[in-house]
């Protein structure tokens, strides 16, 4: 499917405000891709499609998870805000013919994160987290970190997400905790010796 048709397909699935968010995520993802050396075409495509199923009703998302082979059923025990990402990856592959595994993974994990995130995963996660209209505690620090260090920006995003969930007494999806722990190790390993003393 060509880009114009993909944009139209996305616009048909989303509310106006969510489509505007998507456009800002695309611009942010392209900036990060240029800055850190990710493939810009993949970044643009993953950003365009990352929220494809975001506006679907909860029951429709649940039905895809229950009937699909691509999902772990424990997903249903956690916040439904997570569901649209893996469902979206499944649906854009099935309905739009997107076959690039890196793009599909970046869509799938843009809300939860995962250990061993690819560069593209990180770009989409951070772009979605810090796009210019986002306004919440900690987002400015993420933007500042993303000027020079994508890993630290990602770690801060994950830390903020966990704090948000914990402060509200909400459950934490295990994959998000694993992603955060993995990034702690990555960031600590990348510190210069004098900085880590």
**CATH classification number, 3-136, choose in 3.40.50.300, 3.40.50.720, 1.10.10.10, 1.10.3210.10:** 1.10.3210.10
Could you tell me the pTM of the whole model?
Answer: 0.94
- Angle at CA 125, nearest 5°, toward 120 and 128? 120
| Measured torsion, CA atoms of residues 140, 141, 146, 150, in degrees rounded to the nearest 10 | -140
Whether pLDDT at 196 is above 70: no
Cα separation, 91 vs 170, in Å, equals 28
Q: What is the pLDDT of residues 9-22, one digit of tens each?
A: 999 999 999 999 99
How far apart are alpha carbons 89 and 154 in whole angstroms? 21
Nearest C-alpha neighbor of 31 from the set 146, 117, 152, 119: 146
What is the domain partition of the chain in residue ranges?
3-136
User: pLDDT digit string (tens) for 140-169?
Assistant: 999 999 999 999 999 999 999 999 999 999
Q: Is the dihedral of CA 144, 149, 151, 152 positive or negative?
A: negative
Say whether pLDDT at 2 is over 80. yes
Which residues neighbour 19 within 8 Å (Cβ) at sequence distance 6 or greater?
10, 11
Confidence of residue 192 (pLDDT cuts 50, 70, 90): low
């Amino acid at each position: 499917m060509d880009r114009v048709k993909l944009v139209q397909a996305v616009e048909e699935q989303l509310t106006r405000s969510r489509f505007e968010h998507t456009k800002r995520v695309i611009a942010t993802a392209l900036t990060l891709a240029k800055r850190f050396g990710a493939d810009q075409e993949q970044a643009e495509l993953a950003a365009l499609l990352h929220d494809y199923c975001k506006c679907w009703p909860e029951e429709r998302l649940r039905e895809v998870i229950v009937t699909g082979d691509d999902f772990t059923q424990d997903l249903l025990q956690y916040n439904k805000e997570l569901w649209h990402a893996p469902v979206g990856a499944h649906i854009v592959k099935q309905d739009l013919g997107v076959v690039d595994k890196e793009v599909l993974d970046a869509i799938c994990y843009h809300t939860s994160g995962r250990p061993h995130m690819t560069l593209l995963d990180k770009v989409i996660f951070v772009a979605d987290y810090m796009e210019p209209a986002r306004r919440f505690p900690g987002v400015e620090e993420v933007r500042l970190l993303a000027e020079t260090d994508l890993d630290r920006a990602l770690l801060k995003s994950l830390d903020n997400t966990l704090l948000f969930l914990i402060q509200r007494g909400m459950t934490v999806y295990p994959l998000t905790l694993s992603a955060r722990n993995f990034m702690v190790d990555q960031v600590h390993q990348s510190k210069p010796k004098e900085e880590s003393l």
